[in-house]
Structure 1
Amino acid sequence: MADDAPASAPSPGVREGQWLWSPRAEFAAASNIAHYQRWLKSERGLDLPDYSALHQWSVTEIAPFWASIWDYFDVQSATPYARVFDERKMPGARWFEGSRVNYAEHLLRHEAVAADGEAAFHHLTETRPLAQMSWQQLGRQVRILATQLRALGVVPGDRVVSYMPNVPETAVAMIATLAVGGVWSSAAPEFGVKTVIDRFSQIAPKVMFACDGYRFGGKDFSRVDEVAEIASRLPSLGCIVWLPYLQPASGVPDKIPQALLWSTLMDQPDVPREQFVYERVPFDHPIWVVFSSGTTGLPKAIVHSHVGVLVEHLKLMHFHLNLRPGAPMFFYSTTGWMMWNLLIAALLTGGSAVLYDGSPMHPGPDFLWQLAARTRCVSFGASPTFVQMMEKAGLKPGSDHDLSALESIVVAGSPSTPETFDWFYRCVKQDLWVTSQSGGTEICSGFVGAVPTLPVYAGEIQALMLGMDVQAWNDDGVSVVDEVGELMVMSPFPSMPLYFWNDDGDQRYRDSYFAHAPGVWRHGDYIKINARGGCYIYGRSDSTLNRYGVRIGTAEIYRCVEQLPEIADSLIVCCELAGGRYFMPMFLQLRAGHVLDDGLRERISRKLRADCSPRHVPDQLYAVELIPYTLTGKKMELPVRKILMGWPVEKAVSRDAMMQPAAIDWFIDFTQRNSEMLKG
């Protein structure tokens, strides 16, 4: 794939921005995006010779660009759209008014031309061997389940939720829900009851898909009691569809009497493809509700549209990930992360998705590379933390496994370092398109990411994605190049949220992204855009925690920990350290008469694991006299994080804005005493 691939592996002292790889001319010419550029020239008369020109056109001529995406991919609509969008404004732009589409219909379009037995899913769990689900099997199961959902009374707009592992049944449930116009939402089974209720209670679901548990690292975790409690606290539920995953031969538990067995629901006659009718829904019909991490209260219930997600994912999966029919894509994810939605979106390209549920390190640290070899993965994805685990284990997957089919690496979930890129070239293969992406749950896509026609530089995200009008702003609100600034989006795009559920007047939506600069999206990441268009993400500029590639909301942790009688108050931050590592300490203000001993530490950790997830457990716990607050009553998470990461105190915090200015002194002293540790 590379014209001038390094003769030997990059040196261990790889520098940020160091050239690592360029695509071969034939690889670039055969890419989906190159085909699109040729189409634009022949069909639209547009000569856009390089990616920079293509991107500039996509953000200045917004309507013609997104219209070209619609036409290029032949989007199926029951009615024509009246216009691409109504106004160049954020929020509130209305996309493809008049159209009626269905995302699920496009996910399954390849079934009509797929070879008999061609895989749509490769799937493996710690309880099930590696197997395949063909396009024909997937289509058959979706149509049966969709028909049964209609029989259960699910109509367009009804919410259908999932508390299921990363298995084909969950994907079938999502696609079937969307096929009938239902609104999908998912939580991973490792989430605790309160975390699930905080999400699902906001949207009043009618149906819930649930399982009896999951296995991780060789250990089984029952979820029967949790499902029973969740069901008891969701009065809107009319039905639970029960999947006996850990105990396949078991029936419906006595604790969940209203449940129907998955096998009973699916033991129905086939519904021929030509007879099944997808519910083509209006342009502003919700497709799903995805949840933020709950930094400032309950997790934000973010609603996207069928048409917005469809055109965005067609663009993303074809042009930026370069997937094609028959190409397997793997990304290590749980069903509670939007990356799972993107993994299923591989079907839009005619490619296949590799689903895995379990520990990435069980039974051995090279397990996922074995999976990549066995499924002939073309695209392999994980978070930078996964690379750290691989490097610590001393793995050299390129030497130990047949990765000859592998073309690209997708690194997402947290900022990548030059060392992350370097490891892939040293230990996997030198002729490899190593990519990093950054976006968010809010858009179910990326702002910056991969381009198969561009070179790869160490630690650098290749480019701004098509249709994403991104700038870096300094503290004065000026767009800057080669300087770190706030990631700001200047123009609307289709996969912006329609709204937040139960957000009267869109107030929370506006406060989340537009309070900083009305009409301009402030994402909450630090970004640097260099002169050649490459990008670097330097972590969060707000208080959202980012640990092991998964964003975690501080409010969820506070609500859990502060239920303990010993805890008066708390504050948690996550600091990015050298080499892509993280340090997530929690600071506790104890009630009078209590001490932070080993017993209390264990109780806190146990409660966070049970109520939230293992990822919510801090790295260290520290007792402090006071938690610092602003005059308006907000915990000073970002100033504390800045101080711990070495910012000058005068730039990190304004004492005049504090309720009790002396409260910050403990953190200043802590940073000075632990400077070497905090430097990594």
Structure 2
Amino acid sequence: MTQSKLSVAEGELLWTPSPSYVAASNVNAHLEWLRKNRGKNFTDYHELWRWSVESPDEFWAALWDYFAVFSDAPYERVVDRARMPGAKWFEGSRVNYAEHLLRHEVGARDRTVFYHATETRALERISWRELGRQVRIVATQLRSLGVLPGDRVVSYMPNVPETAIAMMAATAIGAIWSSAAPEFGVKTVVERFSQIEPKVLFAADGYRFGGKEFDRRAHVGEIVESLPTLAKVVWLPYINPKEGPAVEGATSWAELLSHPDISRDEFRFERVAFDHPLWVLFSSGTTGLPKAIVHSHVGVLMEHLKLVHFHANLKSHSVMFFYSTTGWVMWNILLAALLEGSAVVLYDGSPVYPEADFLWKLASDTGATNFGVSPTFVQIMEKAGLSPGKRFNLSALEAVLISGAPSTPETFAWFYRHVKEDLWVTSQSGGTEIAGGFVGASPTLPVHAGEIQTRMLGMDVHAWDDEGQELIDELGELVVTSPFPSMPLRFWNDVDDRRYHESYFAAFPGVWRHGDFIRITSAGGCYIYGRSDSTLNRHGVRIGTAEIYRVVEQLPEIADSLIVCCELPGGKFFMPLFIKLRTGFALDNALIARISTVLREDCSPRHVPDRVLAVETIPYTLTGKKMEVPVRKVLMGWPLEKAASRDAMVDSRALDWFIRFAGEAPLR
């Protein structure tokens, strides 16, 4: 069923999978496997989900066998306790995530695994055979450099095959991986990497975006000087291939690959214990340095096997394309498609250059079966009046994944009108914290406008009110009431897990509170309505307010500041920065330009606010916290009595300016 009207209501039916599509789905195959191998008879996805959260030991044990996980030793138990945080998963097992990413190499040696392109480089291909060869060479050279299991290997590279190869090589030998996108400024990178004291840095000389080249050689030099633990830099001459390394003593990527091949039989993957870190992902908080989130090999492996198999429905013939940078968790999830033997499309550049529909051309040229973008991208398509389905051959396309921000009914409907009628359009929501999703898609369920189809398998997700009571068909906090394997092991250098606990378990002890507003319908569908905490969601990438404060408040004109991000109709956002000026200064165009420049250079373009406004005072609670959430609620039209308590404020009148502003100047 399709939608062709100019308007569409939330929850309106847009598509129903055909019986043949359901029968061929990975979900259906697993239901049949459970009947045959476990004696479990579930009639549909909803019954399967309920079993997955009510009997997690059985569910995750079944997945371990179903996916034939490689382990040096059998696990002693699936999970040691049904409490959060601190649950231990698959104790006794010894696995390696990279080994599973490359497990399909043997049977698919000459098939394409990576399609890759840039704004200036035509589409190229890498085979499974070549990928495996390069990963083993780089991994072996890292070992020769003295990199041991547990050492940190980091990158400051664009979304190119070399970055993916470096990640797989590092994790193959038990090193801990972390990545920063090259559009990040020096300060943002150093604040991340200095926490984990890396031994090796992979760095590129720059990146391209919107027809421009951005030279990062000076940035890399400053980063290296700020990381005294570095023993080696591996240099990728990306925008200037003929130039040598800009860092003294660096080894070029070509030099690293010039060593002899290592066969698959000769190479040894470092299978590590259940609690050995795989990577450190960074998610910015509202105070302090970005959170350094540590995940395990086995936890991410089990989550990603489940995610790409059941919720993306990937198969060996699939081609997955999701537009992402290397600083976003979606880059990690994109590479997880290799677990299914699927091919992946890597692209470095602007999504709308040289033309607004360039990504659709790339999807057509690669035969993409699964296409992932953010709602912001759809808005660009709408404004440009584009209909990709009429211009490009998208016959291979089966599914669209919308992620990074809440999706409106109109976003869903656009794909059916302008791409193709028979299409599984999905919206999914999760986070860097779990390297996966909480709520998402099933190929066995219908698509309704604006709705996330279901709660993901193994994720005991609910909507709660402030008193911890479950809500159905009402807006509440997204909580998870049972442990799951891809929970963080810990935060790096987090004494007594204090920050970890404060981030997710302070509101409801023993229950994960994610910080999203969610509504779960009586039929099991889900709607995400944005952040319930003060984290900024900027074009699908989460930004901590603390990152912006540290930069802005160093300017001599600014005494204090506060920033929020408000979700607007149509999937849009408004991110204003409010500043309190020091005596003798005024807010003018020159100061606004300086603020924008310093945020762009020290952080990234995503950190630049939509507007800068001067206020009389910044509101604080009696405990000294900036009142970001109440200000955001006031700007979005909440009545004051539901947004904040004046009795809990240092200055009970500090919100008055924001109340007037909300009434006089509609958000835009």
Instruction: Give the Cα separation in 1 of the matches to 2:6 and 2:96.
Output: 49
> Does the alignment pair 1:124 with 2:117?
yes
Q: Distance in 1 between matches of 2:265 and 2:427?
A: 40
2:428 is the counterpart of 1:428: no
CA apart distance, 1:216: 0.5
State the distance in 2 between where 1:104 and 1:369 align. 30
Aligned partner of residue 186 in structure 1, secondary structure: strand
Residue 565 (structure 1) aligned with residue 556 (structure 2): yes
Provide the identity percentage.
Answer: 66
User: Counterpart in 2 of 1:136?
Assistant: 129
Instruction: Give the corresponding residue for 1:532.
Output: 523
| Matched residue SS, 1:587 | strand
**Aligned partner of residue 161 in structure 1, secondary structure:** strand
How far apart in 2 are the matches of 1:350 and 1:384?
28
User: TM (normalized to structure 1)?
Assistant: 0.98
Q: CA deviation at 1:250?
A: 1.1
Could you tell me how far apart the structure 2 residues matched to 1:365 and 1:293 are? 30
Structure 2 residue aligned with 1:42 = 36
1:154 aligns with 2:150: no
Q: Does 1:67 find its partner at 2:58?
A: no
> What is aligned with 1:667?
658
Q: Distance in 1 between matches of 2:270 and 2:163?
A: 20
Offset of 1:249 from its aligned partner? 1.2
Query: Please, which of 330, 335, 338 is the counterpart of residue 344 of structure 1?
Result: 335
1:375 and 1:302 map into 2 onto residues whose CA distance is: 34
Q: Report what 1:280 is aligned to.
A: 271
SS state of the match for residue 663, structure 2? helix
Deviation per CA, 1:530-583, whole angstroms, max 9, x where unpaired?
011000000000000112111111100010111110010000001111111111
Tell me how large the CA RMSD over aligned residues is: 0.7
- Note the C-alpha offset of 1:295: 2.0
Work out the CA distance in 1 between the residues paired with 2:500 and 2:425: 34
Encode CA deviations 1:415-445: one digit per residue, 9 max, x unaligned. Answer: 0110100101111111000000000000000
Larger deviation, residues 332-341 vs 126-135: 126-135
The equivalent of 1:402 in structure 2 is 393
- Aligned letter for 2:86? G
Alignment of 1:167 onto 2:160: yes
d(CA) in 1 for partners of 2:491 and 2:468? Answer: 27
Tell me how many residue pairs correspond in the alignment: 668
Q: CA deviation at 1:476?
A: 2.4
Structure 2, unmatched stretches of 5+, are none
Provide the rounded CA distance (Å) in 1 between the counterparts of 2:80 and 2:435: 22
Contact 1:127 1:246 in 2 (8 A): no
2:23 matched residue in structure 1: 29
Q: Secondary structure at the match of 1:381?
A: strand
Please report how far the alpha carbon of residue 126 of structure 1 lies from its aligned counterpart in structure 2 after TM superposition: 1.6
Task: State the 4+ residue runs in structure 1 displaced beyond 3 angstroms.
Answer: none
Q: What secondary structure, in the 3-state scheme, does the structure 1 residue paired with 2:518 have?
A: strand
Aligned with 1:184 (options 174, 177, 188)? 177
State the Cα distance separating 1:662 from its structure 2 match. 1.2
- Equivalents in 2 of 1:128, 1:261: separation in Å? 20
Give the Cα–Cα distance (whole angstroms) in 1 for the partners of residues 21 and 499 of structure 2.
45
Alpha-carbon distance in structure 2 between the residues aligned to 1:547 and 1:610? 17
Q: Deviations over 1:275-314 (max 9, x none)?
A: 1110000000000000012322100000000000001100
For residues 673 and 507 of structure 1, the distance between their equivalents in structure 2, rounded to whole angstroms, comes to 42
Please give the per-residue CA displacement for 1:588-625, whole angstroms capped at 9, x wherever unaligned: 10001111001001011011110011111100110011
Check the 8 A contact 1:212/1:243 in 2, yes or no.
Answer: yes
Residue 243 in structure 1 maps to residue 236 in structure 2? yes
Aligned to 1:439: 430
Where 2:514 maps in the other structure, the secondary structure is: strand
- Retained in 1: the 8 A contact 2:119–2:354? no
Aligned amino acid, residue 225 of structure 2 = S
Q: Deviations over 1:441-484 (max 9, x none)?
A: 00000000010000000000000000000110012210010000
What does the per-residue CA deviation read over 1:385-429, in whole Å, with 9 as the maximum and x for residues that have no partner?
000011001000000100000000000001011010010111111
Q: Structure 1 residue 418 and structure 2 residue 426: aligned?
A: no
Q: Which runs of 5+ in 1 are unaligned?
A: none
Q: 2:566 aligns with which of 575, 597, 621?
A: 575
| Residues 10 and 20, structure 1, Cα contact 8 Å, conserved in 2 | no
Distance in 2 separating the partners of 1:450 and 1:52: 12
Q: Could you say what secondary structure the match of 2:104 adopts? A: helix
TM-score by length of 2: 0.99
Q: Partners of 2:170 and 2:317 in 1: how far apart? A: 25
Residue matched to 1:479: 470
Whole-Å separation in 2 of the counterparts to 1:326 and 1:561: 49
Pairing 1:91–2:92 present: no
Q: C-alpha separation between the residues in 2 aligned to 1:252 and 1:448?
A: 44
Alignment partners' CA distance in 2, 1:496 and 1:127: 39
- Local SS of the residue matching 1:220: strand
Instruction: Select between 636-645 and 474-483 the one with higher mean Cα deviation.
Output: 474-483
Does the aligned pair in 1 maintain the 2:296–2:489 contact within 8 Å?
Answer: yes
Using the alignment, how far apart are the partners of 1:491 and 1:475 within structure 2? 19
CA distance in 1, matches of 2:110, 2:78: 38
SS in 1 for 2:81: coil
The one of 377, 381, 394 aligned to 1:386: 377
